[in-house]
Amino acid sequence: MLQGLSEWWNDVELWIIAVPFALQFALVMAVLLPLCVVLAWLIDRVVDYASDTVGTSRDEPPLGSRSSSDADS
């Protein structure tokens, strides 16, 4: 199985090297841009879930909130 995957990947690499640069760039962007967007969205969801799970201290106001002493400054 690993040998077959290795041979397939080598064939893909050889094919990509053989195509013109403009097509290489377009192919990479068509694959990497959606992959990066999905990965960023996934990281955002994980961080949101973790911050909701951990929560905030009752003694401290949430980040981004203004207290009356901050508004006077």
pLDDT tens, N- to C-terminus, the chain (73 residues): 889 999 999 998 999 899 999 999 999 899 999 999 999 999 999 999 888 888 766 666 666 677 655 555 5
Question: Which pLDDT belongs to residue 1?
Answer: 82
Question: Which pLDDT belongs to residue 52?
Answer: 81
In a domain, 7, yes or no: no
Task: Give me 13's structure tokens.
Answer: 């690499």
In a domain, 66, yes or no: no
Question: Which pLDDT belongs to residue 26?
Answer: 94
Domain that holds residue 32: 20-51
Residue 65, CA distances (Å) to 43, 70, 71 in order: 24, 9, 10
In a domain, 30, yes or no: yes
Q: Is residue 51 helix, strand or coil? A: helix
Question: Which pLDDT belongs to residue 5?
Answer: 92
pTM for the model:
0.54
The C-alpha atoms of residue 48 and residue 59 are separated, in whole angstroms, by: 21
In a domain, 27, yes or no: yes
3-state helix, strand, coil in the chain (%, to 5): 75, 0, 25
Number of domains the chain contains = 1
